[in-house]
Amino acid sequence: MQRLRARIPTPDGLGNPLADSGTHRRARRRAVIHPGPNASPMAASYLPALVFVIFAVGFAALMLGITMVLGPKRTSAIKDEPFECGSEPIGSPRVKFSVKFYQVAILFLVFDIEVAFLYPWASLFRELSCTGPLNAAGVCTSAPSMFGLVEMLVFLVILVIALAYVWRKRALDWA
């Protein structure tokens, strides 16, 4: 990997930090890290993420290795039995579930994810309901708009129509 070099602007433009120490100290605070001549700026911006991923994978591998080396290895027939919430397993684990179970589970996920879209809308409601910019306190300084409310009402109407359709088709019944 290439090293990143900081190009610090100096007062005289020649790289002489002793030209004016006060100006140079201010310039040093504004220093911008530039990649080397062969590196692209986009690659340099991903460098911290790459270092983080390498560190995380290395740490996980190290912890896994330590537990494999230092952990106890006392296996027995009782420890190898399947454990089911503190009770003895009854019957075969290969029980077939009804398709209704999967259908209700998928419908729950679909509607749950759709309702999760309400959170970003709620956090942006003031911005969506103002025709101009908000001031520093977050108050609309221009005319209010119905855009934010109408946008969510359309979304909720579509969601309620879908729920009514699913309910009418009896897709939510277990029987």
Residue with tokens 């990997």: 1
What residues pair up with 146 in beta bridges, in sequence order? none
Is this prediction's pTM over 0.95?
A: no
pLDDT of the chain, 175 residues: tens digit per residue:
455 555 555 555 555 555 555 554 554 555 555 555 666 777 778 888 999 999 999 999 999 999 999 988 888 887 777 776 767 767 777 778 778 888 888 888 888 888 888 888 888 888 888 888 888 888 888 888 888 889 999 999 999 999 899 989 888 777 6
DSSP codes, 58-104: HHHHHHHHHHHHHS-----TTTTS--BTTB---S-S-PPPPHHHHHH
The amino acid present at 111, given as its one-letter code, is F
Look up residue 26 and give its two tokens. 């201010």
Q: What is the rounded CA–CA span in Å between residue 34 and residue 8?
A: 10
Separation CA 66–CA 61 (nearest Å): 9
Cα torsion 16, 19, 25, 26: sign:
negative
The whole-angstrom separation of Cα 56 and Cα 112 is 31
Buried b (16+ CB within 10 A) or exposed e, 134-152: eeeeeebeeeeeeebeeeb
Closest CA to 110 of 163, 72, 70: 163
Predicted local distance difference test score (pLDDT) of residue 56: 97
